Amino acid sequence: MRLRERNYGVLSFMSRWPTIFAFAAVLGGCTSQPESGGEAASVVLVQAVPGELLKSAWPARMAHDDQRSRFESQDGWRHMFEYDLSQALGVFSVEADPQGLSRVHEQLSALYTQGALLAANATVGAYGVGALETDPDDLAYLLGVSEVIRGNREAALKYFEEVSKLPMTFQPQAKAWHRALSEPGLPSLEVLSAISGSLGEVIPGQDPAVSPVPHFKLLEKSEKARLMGANDPTALLTRAAWHQAAAVQVAPESDREALGQFQLRYGLDRSRSSEMHGAVALDDAWLFCSSNLAASDAAFVAEAMTQGIAAVSKWADKSVLAAAVSPAIQDGKVDPQVVMDAGFGLQKQIQRVMADIAGAEAGFHRPFAQRARIAVLQAGMIVADANDQYRDAGILRLNALERMETVGIEPVFALSVAAWDAGNRSPLRPEEILHQFRSTYPALSAAKAPLDALHLRRSRNAGPANAVH
């Protein structure tokens, strides 16, 4: 795992980065000075966040060899760095790293949660908004589940009542969902398993087998009466709950509160986000390569999801991300362009701090700092979303995804973008994202059928278009 060329960092990926950084460092001597040729001319670099606060960010701390060495010595962390959760799960399960293993399970839980949201948004977009007379009546069940996932419980109940008037196909599942909706929040793993089928005992380090798709074949009400493949999004929720249970089971007792905060970022139940959150002490295993740059960022993000700009002002002196986003709050709004500038400013500031700590620039500094830049975009997006700036949040969301192309696409975030797009009835980008990840995470295939249907229905109604060269 340890690289042959120690100068260029920790992870094999880094070896691809040009040696320019080190070369520039030699030429420039003291690397605390801004680089002469590497900065965007358009951005006046300012200190994005106070220096002391910045030192708490994981990319800055990882400039210290001793703090980085524990991650260099384990293949599991290399896979985490490359956002390969599937490989990381296998390695952590044998390397006996409970925090690493818990974090992978937590990420997989988030991945399947967003997969469920993708399936739900596509289902509603295709069979709800875009309903056709030829659609099988049984789709009411899938629409009901989808509305639960989207947080529309009243709409879901109506669909489940509709199912009760239909022949048997989905009646047991609809009844179970109906009962589950009498309680707040999402159903437990036990209830979900009863609906979509058990995934077996929760054993950390494992990934349950995937049922083949389609889950069902429903008869279309057309002359040709074709069978239409359909999948129950409940299956993805069940898988998410299974991994969540595994994450909790393996996490050290002292880390359980932090785990709860992390789960909020991509969770469906927003009721806990409105609570006040305190910064909890966190081991670097929870932060390395994550979008939380420091421990207090997780608490800030948890609050920002419902409190928006109020959370920024509250956390600006404690959270790196809040401090970075803070200048972008102007007249009660998030200015997406300022968030982007702040992200870039933080990247450059972190690179300088890393060079100061290490005594010279190294190849891995830039990609680490780029992740910090992306984290700022994501934080700005969360704040804008909570501030009812849907389009501005979208701009930041897409920008964050674009920036990931340089350092590696984080599957959970990518799936969340896909789910958001599908919620806008836009199928193309979600199809590409799903295609990219479903060979590694085959359970996500459950989202393909509704997404295909959304595309086909949108396409049939779209303006004419020719193939163009």
Partner 1 sequence: MALKNTVRAIIGLALAAMGTGATLAYFEESIPMSLNPLYAKTMADYRAQELIFDRLFYVDAVTNELRSRVVSKYELADFGRAMAVTLKTGIRWHNGQALTSKDVCFTVKAMLDDRTPSPVAAHYREFIAACDTKGPQVAVIRFNRVLPNPRERLSFTILPASEFKSTAISPDLQFSARPIGTGPFSGKRGLRDVNFDAFANGHHTPKVVQMQLQEGGDPLVQTKTLINNNVQGIIVVPPPQRPDLSASDDVAMKAYDLRSWWYVAVNPNKPALTDVRVRQALNVVLNRNELRKYSIGVKPGEKNSPCEFISGPFISASPYYNSEVPVQPNSNLGKADSLLKAAGLAKAGGAWQLDGSKVTLKVGMLASLDREAPDLLSQVGNQLGAAGFDRLTLKISADEWDNTVMAGNSDFDLIIGKWSFGLVEEVNELFHSMGRQNMFRFKSDGVDKVLAEYNDAVTDTEQRDAYHKLHKLLSVELPYLFLWKLDTRSAWRTEVRGNIVAPYYYFTEIDSWSIEN
Q: How far apart are CA 124 and CA 71, in angstroms?
A: 43
156 or 350: CB nearest partner 1? 350
Contact, 207 vs 90, CB < 8 A?
A: no
Q: How far apart are CA 61 and CA 440, in angstroms?
A: 31
Residue 329 belongs to what H/E stretch? strand 329-330
Provide the 3-class DSSP secondary structure of residue 49.
Answer: coil
- Within 10 A of 385 (CB to CB), how many other CB atoms are there? 21
Binding residue for partner 1, selected from 64, 153, 179, 435, defined by CB under 8 A: 435
The answer to whether residue 34 forms part of the interface with partner 1 (CB under 8 A) is: no
Question: 111-170: which residues touch partner 1 (CB under 8 A)?
Answer: 132, 134
Smallest separation, CB 416 to partner 1 (Å): 15
Q: How far apart are CA 215 and CA 330, in angstroms?
A: 49
Q: How far apart are CA 332 and CA 462, in angstroms?
A: 37
Binding residue for partner 1, selected from 224, 253, 331, 332, defined by CB under 8 A: 224
Binding residue for partner 1, selected from 222, 254, 313, 330, defined by CB under 8 A: 222
Binding residue for partner 1, selected from 95, 137, 220, 356, defined by CB under 8 A: 220
**In this chain, which stretch among 157-165, 200-208, 315-323, 389-397 interacts with partner 1, using CB under 8 A?**
389-397
168 or 462: CB nearest partner 1? 462
- Within 10 A of 26 (CB to CB), how many other CB atoms are there? 11
Q: Report the DSSP beta bridge partners of residue 329.
A: 334
Question: 303-362: which residues touch partner 1 (CB under 8 A)?
Answer: 337, 344, 348
The answer to whether residue 95 forms part of the interface with partner 1 (CB under 8 A) is: no
Binding residue for partner 1, selected from 401, 415, 443, 446, defined by CB under 8 A: 401
Provide the 3-class DSSP secondary structure of residue 216.
Answer: strand
Chain-centroid distance of CA 461 in Å reads: 31
The answer to whether residue 17 forms part of the interface with partner 1 (CB under 8 A) is: yes
Q: How far apart are CA 313 and CA 405, in angstroms?
A: 31
Q: Report the DSSP beta bridge partners of residue 217.
A: 229
265 or 403: CB nearest partner 1? 403
> At a CB cut-off of 8 Å and minimum separation 6, what does 390 contact?
none
> For 224, which DSSP code?
T
Binding residue for partner 1, selected from 30, 40, 203, 276, defined by CB under 8 A: 40
**In this chain, which stretch among 37-45, 54-62, 113-121, 204-212 interacts with partner 1, using CB under 8 A?**
37-45
Q: How far apart are CA 117 and CA 110, in angstroms?
A: 10
165 or 460: CB nearest partner 1? 460
63 or 396: CB nearest partner 1? 396
**x/- map, 48-87, partner 1, by CB under 8 A:** ----------------------------------------
**In this chain, which stretch among 65-73, 110-118, 378-386, 452-460 interacts with partner 1, using CB under 8 A?**
452-460
Binding residue for partner 1, selected from 39, 72, 95, 162, defined by CB under 8 A: 39
42 or 182: CB nearest partner 1? 42
Tell me how many residues contact partner 1 (CB under 8 A).
63
Amino acid making up residue 270: R
Smallest separation, CB 423 to partner 1 (Å): 9
> For 290, which DSSP code?
S
Rg of the chain in Å (alpha carbons): 23
- Asked if the peptide bond before residue 214 counts as cis, ω within 30 degrees of 0, the response is yes
Upper half-sphere CA count for residue 382 (Cβ side, 13 Å)? 32
- CA distances 224 to 134, 219, 227, 427, Å, are 10, 10, 9, 27
- Within 10 A of 368 (CB to CB), how many other CB atoms are there? 28
**In this chain, which stretch among 96-104, 255-263, 292-300, 446-454 interacts with partner 1, using CB under 8 A?**
446-454
Binding residue for partner 1, selected from 431, 443, 445, 447, defined by CB under 8 A: 431
272 or 438: CB nearest partner 1? 438
Binding residue for partner 1, selected from 155, 166, 357, 398, defined by CB under 8 A: 398
Structure-token match 């891995």, residue found: 364
Upper half-sphere CA count for residue 363 (Cβ side, 13 Å)? 17
The answer to whether residue 455 forms part of the interface with partner 1 (CB under 8 A) is: yes
Contact, 410 vs 202, CB < 8 A?
A: no
Binding residue for partner 1, selected from 4, 29, 36, 42, defined by CB under 8 A: 42
Smallest separation, CB 301 to partner 1 (Å): 22
Smallest separation, CB 466 to partner 1 (Å): 5
Q: How far apart are CA 19 and CA 26, in angstroms?
A: 11
Binding residue for partner 1, selected from 108, 202, 228, 250, defined by CB under 8 A: 228
Smallest separation, CB 310 to partner 1 (Å): 25
Closest CA to 24 of 365, 297, 284: 365
Footprint of partner 1 (CB under 8 A): 16-18, 20, 38-43, 132, 134, 220, 222-224, 226-228, 337, 344, 348, 390-391, 394-395, 398, 401-403, 405-406, 409, 421, 424-429, 431-432, 434-436, 451-453, 455-469
